[in-house]
Amino acid sequence: MNKYKFTQIEKYQMTGLIDYSEIQSLPEIWEIAANRFGDITALIAPHGKPTITLTYSQLYYQIQQFAAGIQALGIGENSQENIPSRVALFADNSPRWMIADQGIIMAGAANAVRSSAADKEELLYILEHSGSIGLVVENIKTLNKIGPEIYSNSPNVLLQWIVLLSDESPRDGKNIQDTQTDIQIINFPQLIELGNNFKLQFVESNPQKLATLIYTSGTTGKPKGVMLTHSNLIHQINTIHAIIQPSVGDKTLSILPTWHSFGRVGEYYTLSQGCTQIYTNRRYLKQDLQEYKPQYVIGVPRLWESFYEGIQKSFRDKSPRMQKLINNFLKVSGRYIKAVRTWKKLDLENLNPTTAEIINAWKTTILLAPLHFLGENIVYKKIQQATGGNIKQLICGGGSLAQHLEDFFEIVGIQILVGYGLTETSPVLCARRYYRNLRGSSGKPIPATQIKIVDLESGEILPANTRGLVMARGEQVMEGYYLNSEATSKAIDSEGWFNTGDIGWLTTENQIVLTGRAKDTIVLTNGENIEPQPIENACLRSPYIDQIMLVGQDQKSLGALIVPNIEALEAWLLNQSLSITNSDINANLNNQIIRDLFREELNREVRHRPGYRRDDQIIVFELIPEPFTIENGLLTQTLKVRRNVVMERYRDAIANLFV
């Protein structure tokens, strides 16, 4: 582990963790894990039919069976150095996804992954662009979505075989669309049986060999295939030790898309340490938190926003007297955590407090501690129980966590660690440590990772506390974009520095603070550059705002598209003795009473945020009834707003804002 240069405190914390620093390929993990953890439960899928439970020994055995079956079908040979044959994997979270993912790689191939719910055109593009000779697909429904094109003998489709991850019969005329094809199609049980009758062939380890192609969401133009090697992903498994240190048997909930780099690496790491992973989804999350009482949940900001909104709704359902008591406790505790942050020098707004400020913060801490701990016993412990009561840390990545959420989780005593990275960096670059948890930051670089901030125009390195373009270098940086040398050369310079496209700054302790994407910056006609994310996060503190996206490029002032929180809005209207049903609310979002409420909310939240400037004011806004979702194409699979798509969808509405 020495090559990763862990700090002394990190080395101490890692006592008892499994060391994978000597492995050369991903499949080696599963043999080590099977030998160490054997009969410990690795995976639980409680919501499928039937429920699936696999021990570490069973998981390793099924990965081997799958790999042998893939080899029996044929993976061919590839003459390109370090680029094996590709197999497309179009499926979603399940134990069989993990078995297929690692089985493909153990067989000696690389996989090209995507959700089965992705658009037909995107799946076909990935299939053709990756040059996949095999396809592993969720079920017959997904296969039928792309079937006609792949059966048409197109010269761009190189498929030789297809594996269904379901038990459905592939030759049942009621299932597979009638077609003439020479492509062999079998289901999961048939592949496992094939693997049982075929001796798995050893594949020589090579850490520089391509392991997977992960295609970017493609909000502009065609998606790019990010080339991640065994070495890229092994680096992550060996360095995430610095962030969390799970114990054997700790439980984790899997809710992120498994094929996405963040969720995928999180699962690789926790499984490498003997954790038990439970597959859940947003429908069952609350239930599974209570039933399985996990120690870790890895999620994106939108997930924690939803959790927070659920707690706020439960507050609104209580009696006026209880609501007042809860709000008073939250206000007192807000002052308490602010004071604690100050004397610990963990207040992002005041990282270098004076001696007088530290003394005053100590006094405030002592004064408010009894009330804060009373609030913990009366209110906050119940919120902790809503997560199962055993949470060690919640892990957040894939976007910025709003400050009011940071404050809330700290107040109620739930540790949340925010990380930063991109698909192109496998993904983790930086993350907060629980012993130095600077709220509002994305933490320090993980071991064997370098971060620098450079001037957007000149490229010169900027000093601490100066905002600029974030550049990264380390073993986790991708090999490049598949079959796209031009895009690769633009992203990675001759010295190996990767251009993240993010704007941010480093503290004197080397903690990174992100302020937005370079391409998302809104430039007003007065020349002011506005980073939308911090302002949007501030607005989300309002209980009446569910989603928001700022607009205003080349305008005199900012505007916003706002998705209201209908439940909170309905409760407010009832409190005003205005009875309007949900359907009436959606039809009357331009009602002056409703618009006045949102005007007041926007003004208050924007003006109260740290670093407020006059140009931050949102002058015009449009209330829209349709939420931004994955299904309507307005959110990515990691629940980030696809700004370009939203801009196009609401082009006329945005134009009318500035008339």
Model confidence at 180, pLDDT cuts 50, 70, 90, reads low
Say how far apart CA 447 and CA 648 lie, in whole Å: 41
Strands (E), 117-231: 134-137, 161-164, 184-187, 210-215, 225-229
Which of these ranges, 165-169, 216-220, 263-267, 365-369, has the smallest mean pLDDT?
A: 216-220
Model confidence at 209, pLDDT cuts 50, 70, 90, reads very high
Name the residue with higher pLDDT: 10 or 113. Answer: 113
- Average pLDDT, integer, range 47-68: 96
**How do residues 605-655 score in pLDDT, each as one tens digit?**
999 888 788 889 999 999 999 999 988 989 887 788 888 889 889 999 999
Model confidence at 451, pLDDT cuts 50, 70, 90, reads very high
Instruction: Spell out the residues 6+ positions from residue 628 whose beta carbon is closer than 8 angstroms to its own.
Output: 547, 549, 563, 634, 635, 641, 646
Residue 585 has pLDDT above 80, yes or no: no
- Cis previous bond, 427, omega within 30: yes
**How do residues 401-436 score in pLDDT, each as one tens digit?**
889 999 999 999 999 999 999 999 999 999 999 999
Q: What is the pLDDT of residue 176?
A: 58
Which of these ranges, 129-133, 196-200, 514-518, 594-598, has the smallest mean pLDDT?
A: 514-518
**How do residues 61-97 score in pLDDT, each as one tens digit?**
999 999 999 999 999 877 688 999 999 999 999 999 9
Q: What is the pLDDT of residue 430?
A: 98
Q: What is the pLDDT of residue 174?
A: 46
Q: What is the pLDDT of residue 583?
A: 55
Say how far apart CA 318 and CA 565 lie, in whole Å: 19
Q: What is the pLDDT of residue 574?
A: 82
Residue carrying structure tokens 């780099």 = 261
Model confidence at 178, pLDDT cuts 50, 70, 90, reads low
Residue 362 has pLDDT above 90, yes or no: yes
Say how far apart CA 127 and CA 116 lie, in whole Å: 12
Say how far apart CA 98 and CA 213 lie, in whole Å: 16
Please name each of the domains of the chain with its CATH number: 26-204+256-262 (3.40.50.980), 519-657 (3.30.300.30)
Q: How many CB atoms lie within 10 A of CB 417?
A: 21
Q: What is the pLDDT of residue 219?
A: 45
Q: What is the pLDDT of residue 79?
A: 65
CA nearest neighbour of 114 among 137, 94, 133: 137
Contact 122, 149 (CB under 8 A): no
Contact 548, 505 (CB under 8 A): no
Say how far apart CA 587 and CA 34 lie, in whole Å: 58
Instruction: Say whether 394 sits in a helix, a strand or coil.
Output: strand
CA angle 575, 578, 579 (to 5 degrees): 100
Model confidence at 172, pLDDT cuts 50, 70, 90, reads low
Burial of 604 (0-12, 13-18, 19+ CB in 10 A): middle
Q: What is the dihedral of CA 497, 502, 507, 508, to 10 degrees?
A: 20
Q: What is the pLDDT of residue 173?
A: 45
Average pLDDT of the residues of the chain: 92
Instruction: Say whether 466 sits in a helix, a strand or coil.
Output: coil
Q: Considering the chain, what percentage of its residues have pLDDT values greater than 90?
A: 75
Q: 0.75 cut: is pTM over it?
A: yes
Residue 443 has pLDDT above 60, yes or no: yes
**How do residues 292-313 score in pLDDT, each as one tens digit?**
999 999 998 889 988 999 999 9
Q: Considering the chain, what percentage of its residues have pLDDT values greater than 70?
A: 96
